[in-house]
Each structure stands twice: as C-alpha cells, then as structure tokens.
Chains A and B, each alone.
Chain A
C-alpha cells in the first residue's frame, strides 16, 4: 500500500512564548523546530503500516525551505520519500494549504502514484484549524475520520477507533481514505543514527505552489491576559510535609 503523511513545521516552544516585534509570529530566535505530536504519531503509524503490509511511504510539508529538517526527521524514522511544497515563509491559511496539498496529490496521481491512505494530525500544533484533513478528503472525494487512536488495515478497508468521553467509537471505511491521527495511537520510535545518515543523503522533491487568499487572514498574535497571582512557598524537602498536609486540610481534601 502507499501512504502519504502531511506534517507542519512549528517552533518548539517551552516555558514561555514571546512574540516578534510586529506581533506576527512567535519569536523563534532561541527556539528549535518540530512537528505536532499528533503528526509524529501519524509518521510512526505510516512507517509501521509499510513494515507490516509492504508498499511505500511519503512525507509532505508546505513551508519554507528550512522545513526540509522536518521532512528529514520523518525519513530518519523510515519514511522513504519527501515532498516540499515550498513557500516564502508566509503563513498559508487552511483553505490555501489544503488546496496546495490536493494539487500535489493530483500531480502525483497523474505521474502514476496514487495513495491508499493520506494521513494528517488531528490539528496542527500552532494554528490548530482542525480542518485540513477534512478539506483534502472532500476535494478528493474520499471518506475521512478525524482524531483516530487505533487503526487496523484489512482487505481494502480500514478499521479505526477513537476515544470519546463515554468510551470509544469505531468505524469501518473503505480505502482509499483520509485519516487524522491523535497522539496515543502509538509510541513513536527514536531515530537511529544510520536512519539519520540515510535521511541526510535522500533527495527532496520540490514543488512551488501558487499562494492564494483562503479567506482567514491573520492580523496579529497576542498573549492571553495573565491574572496576577503569587506563589506561597511551603518549605523545602521533607520539612514541607506538615505544611502540605495542612494545605490539604484547608482545601478540605482530607
């Protein structure tokens, strides 16, 4: 089977977020980059599917030239091919992103490469539009399930499960299909050194899609208002035991 996984390069923020002077993006001067944990799991799932069922896997991203790092990260885990939809670094909205991905998939099909499964994260880590997978499925007229936490491939079909407040929901759908993945579907492996070296040497296929106005236009970013509050230090190490217990009593937990 052939699997395509779509990932998005995002800054790896940690304890605090700082914004750029023009409030257009996160200040990334001191940050590394990564993809959403949901997408890491989608990549891992694709690698496992190919290990089990045979076939080939491809990773795709729409982003600036440097997003090649994220494609190589995926190839280091076992994805074979990579496609970069290269942009000038501006953010593309969900309509425009989905349209570019659809166009790339159609170009692949015209070149004789069709996909049985197209996988996404349930939502991107940064802009979290919760929609690109669904839009791609709709445009390609494929069935789609979002937020899956278990997947099994049978004869021309997929069995999926997703978690709800009350338990689980299951669905069966025929392939080809679009699936969006939530973290927890698997525990991604770490890249091996040979894997990294192999990925470094691989060629990246490039396409330069045409920017379009999708209708959701970012004006500025802002940090949520922080409520003023102070922290009460209850002591150090074992000495704090009595004060912690007293706190539990004050909060009526004991």
Chain B
C-alpha cells in the first residue's frame, strides 16, 4: 500500500497535498498496490469528499481532539503509529514547512531514512528517487533504503490531476496513544491584519532590486514602478545583507519563491540561489549594465543600462500615458 500524508484546512486538502495524492496514485498504480491517505485532526474526515477523486480507498483520520491544533511531534506520532499498524510500502508527504517537519519527526521516531523534496520516484529494488538540491538548481539521484520508504514531494514537481471516476472511500478514524511529551511543542497561529499591500506571493508583477540599485534610497524608483503597475518590490540577498531592505522581501533559495506574470530583475546578477526563487515567473525582464551577467541569458527580455536611468524613463512614460488629457 502507498500512504499519502495530506495536510488540510478544515478538511480541504492543500494544493500541495493534491499533488502528493496525484504522485501517490501513480506510484500505487505502478506498484499495483492500494492507495490510502491519512489526515490529522478531527476535521480531517471532511477530506473524504475530495480524496475520492484521487483513487484513495481508505482515509485514516487521527481524530484525537488534542491533534486539532498543530503539534509536530504529536502529529508525527499519529502518522508513525498508523504506519506501524497498516504497514505501507511507501509514506509520502508534502515538502511544505509542516509536511517536512512532520515527516522528519516520523523518520526520526521510526529510525528510518527520509528522502526530502523528491521530483521523481522509481519503485523497485533498489528504490530510486530524484530529489532537489540547492533549492532545485541541482538534482540528485539516490537509492532509498528502509522497510518503509519515507518521502516528501517537492512543490509543483507535477500538476494535481483529479480523476473523473470516483472511488468508494472508507473513513477509518483512529486514536493514537499520545502523552504530554508529544505536546511539548504546540504552534499557535497568529493571523496578521490585512495591510492592504499587495504581497510578494500574490503580485502579478514583481520588481526585484539587487546590489546594482546602488542604495536603500535607490529603491524609490522601483517602488514607484510597483505603484504604477500594481505590483510588489522584492530583492536579492546582497540587498538584505546590506540592510537596504527587510529579509521578508528577499527572493530565492533562503527567501520567497514567487511566480508572477512578470519579474523585473533590476541590477541583479542572476546567481542560481536567486533564480530558484523567480524561475516560475512567466516572463523575466532584466535591467543590467553588464550584457554578460547570467541574468541576461536567463531572461526573456533585457535592457542593457543603468537601473536608475532606465526606470526614470519608464516611470515618466507611464505617468505621461496616465495623464488625463485636458479639455
């Protein structure tokens, strides 16, 4: 059996969990074994309505009320106990922050290896996976051992694909043995007040600034363009290290991953660790003084020139377009 560990919001599986179900479904087909899923928290049972379209035959629900709020070690204990009991060949979770954390705890508890951020899985002996390194700018082919193969699936390694036919899903609630020690860490959510600002993650256009912007004040022209286009401003790590912008603006391997329609990289050289954060953009426009900068060959459009000169001309022309004709 293949067991998919799914995350859900009040019973609605997350997008990444649908990707996991899709991959787990393919895997169970290849291995000719059934597909089952596990959701933690009493509300997990509501996921049945959706997992039915992904070929799941059984939905296990860890429904102890103490599991309603996120407690990494408690959730992992539930998944590990279920795994010991139902004995799947493979357990696969998402590589979200939570999925990675829970699966690491499961692996530690069960004293088994774990392959994180897989993009391809070839079952058999040896059991071979392809996994991401360096945020996805490099791939590793590896053999995974262990009586149960534990994996997390890299985000967007494939597209979620529901099947038109539905399976009969049996819901199996279970109550794992839990003690106080499993709840030494509980994470309490704090939802932030909506500031009305367009977030980096949501923006259709992101204007990213690098060392070539020259100074913290130099970002004024990027802010102006963001205002004119209804976009958001991001930056490179060089910029956060210099203290010009907060880390929450950083795009890349140790910052945000974004996927706007257009990413405008201003004075950014295009280091691989930056590119893994913006390569999902539909289009990239580079503005750089150096025609040989790596960003230029990775971009769809480029302007060779000084950021400030280029942006002041662009901003001025947009402002002119917007001017209401008199009379």
Contact = CB atoms under 8 A, between A and B. Distances in A.
B contact face: mostly helix, strand, loop, or mixed: mixed
Interface string B300-322: 11111110011011101110010
- CB-CB nearest 4 A-B residue pairs: A241-B313, A184-B247, A215-B113, A15-B294
Contacts of A167: 189-192
A234 B262 CA distance: 15
The interface size bin for chain A is 35 or more
A166 interface: yes
Given A146-B101, A231-B302, A126 B112 contact: no
A30 B83 CA distance: 46
Contacts of B191: 166-167
A164 interface: yes
B84 to A, nearest CB: 16
Contact of A14 (B271, B299, B310): B271
Interface stretch (B32-40, B41-49, B144-152, B164-172): B144-152
B142 A218 contact: yes
Contact of A130 (B73, B100, B112, B189): B100
A244 B254 contact: no
Interface stretch (A49-57, A71-79, A80-88, A245-253): A245-253
B72 interface: yes
Contact of B70 (A26, A169, A247): A169
B189 A166 contact: yes
B135, B185, B283, B313 interface centre (most CB from chain A within 10 Å): B185
A139 B201 CA distance: 37
B176 interface: no
Interface of B: 70, 72-73, 95, 97, 100-101, 104-105, 107-109, 111-117, 128, 130, 132-146, 152, 184-192, 201, 204-205, 229, 237, 240-241, 243, 246-248, 250, 253-255, 261-262, 269-273, 283, 285-286, 291, 293-294, 296-306, 309-310, 312-314, 316-318, 321
A187 B192 contact: no
A244 B285 contact: yes
Nearest to A215: B113
Interface of A: 13-17, 26, 36-38, 93-95, 98, 123, 125-131, 134-135, 137-139, 143-147, 161-171, 173-174, 182-184, 187-188, 213-224, 229, 231-245, 247-248, 251, 253-254
26 contacts: A36-B254, A123-B116, A130-B116, A131-B107, A144-B72, A146-B97, A146-B100, A161-B190, A162-B97, A162-B187, A165-B201, A168-B189, A184-B247, A187-B241, A217-B142, A217-B143, A218-B141, A220-B141, A222-B138, A222-B139, A231-B297, A234-B301, A238-B313, A239-B313, A244-B303, A253-B262
